[in-house]
Amino acid sequence: MTWKQVFTSSVGKKLVMGLTGIFLILFLMVHAGLNACIWAGDGGEMFNKGAHFMGNNWVPRILELGLFAGILLHIIQGFLLTVENRKKRTIGYEVSYNEGSKWYSRSMGLLGTLILLFLVLHLSHFWLPNRSNQGFLLGEEINLYKKMKLEFSVLWVVIVYVVGCISLGYHLAHGFQSAFRTLGVHNRRYNTMLISLGYGFAIIISLLFALMPVSFYLGWVE
């Protein structure tokens, strides 16, 4: 069989979702870890150093290309799968079956869309102005800590970020364990472990990210 056959089969398409999903999970860990430096209590010095490294060293810049490729693949494939899967039942049920599965497992497309909308706002707040001001374009490097403080002084922005984080949390609550199932982890003891790990990861990551705008808004960090 050809690689095309593999990756256009229903199982192969899910494999792409799972692999890119796990890659994005790894990215979230790095992102959350680095951003947690805002709580260092040094007025953003450590955080800005980290941000400078991520923006100016060629290793994270190359990895960033991979990240965008991964995100795009995850979004496009996810969108196509959702549309295709919907088409498989032209006439729906009068009474729908909701007991057997969690609502967030059934709503990965919706949660993904919410995260995407949040991402557009998020990238336009930080990534875009930051990258366009680095060296080659509009002059001076942005003080990202100050930028965070500025953006997160607006209530609606904070609310949108918190909603984005909640969507991410539920997306991960299903996605984390589902990705490993898709990769073929079928042993019961590993699955049990991965489900707990997935819930833990989803809660910690979304809470950590949501606390960042909240911390600035409520003045927990100076």
Residues 39-78 vs other proteins: string with x where CB under 8 A?
----------------------------------------
Using CB under 8 A as the binding rule, whether residue 92 contacts other proteins is answered as yes
Among 58, 100, 155, 156, the residue binding other proteins under the rule CB under 8 A is 100
Spell out the long-range contacts of 214-222 with Cβ–Cβ below 8 A and sequence spacing 24 or more.
214/158, 214/162, 215/38, 215/39, 216/38, 216/148, 216/149, 216/152, 216/153, 216/158, 217/152, 217/153, 217/155, 217/158, 221/38, 221/39, 221/41, 222/43
Q: What is each CA distance from 151 to 81, 142, 206, 214, in whole angstroms?
A: 35, 13, 19, 11
Residues 168-197 vs other proteins: string with x where CB under 8 A?
------x--xx--xxxxxxxx--x------
Among 65, 91, 120, 137, the residue binding other proteins under the rule CB under 8 A is 91
CB 58, min distance to other proteins, A: 32
Using CB under 8 A as the binding rule, whether residue 35 contacts other proteins is answered as no
CB 18, min distance to other proteins, A: 8
For the residues of 122-139, what is the DSSP string, one character each?
Answer: HIIIIIHHHHHTSSSSSS
Nearest one of 198, 127, 208 to 165, comparing CA atoms: 208
Q: Which is nearer to other proteins, 59 or 91 (CB)?
A: 91
By the criterion CB under 8 A, which residues form the site for other proteins?
A: 1, 5-6, 9-15, 81, 84-102, 105-106, 108, 174, 177-178, 181-188, 191
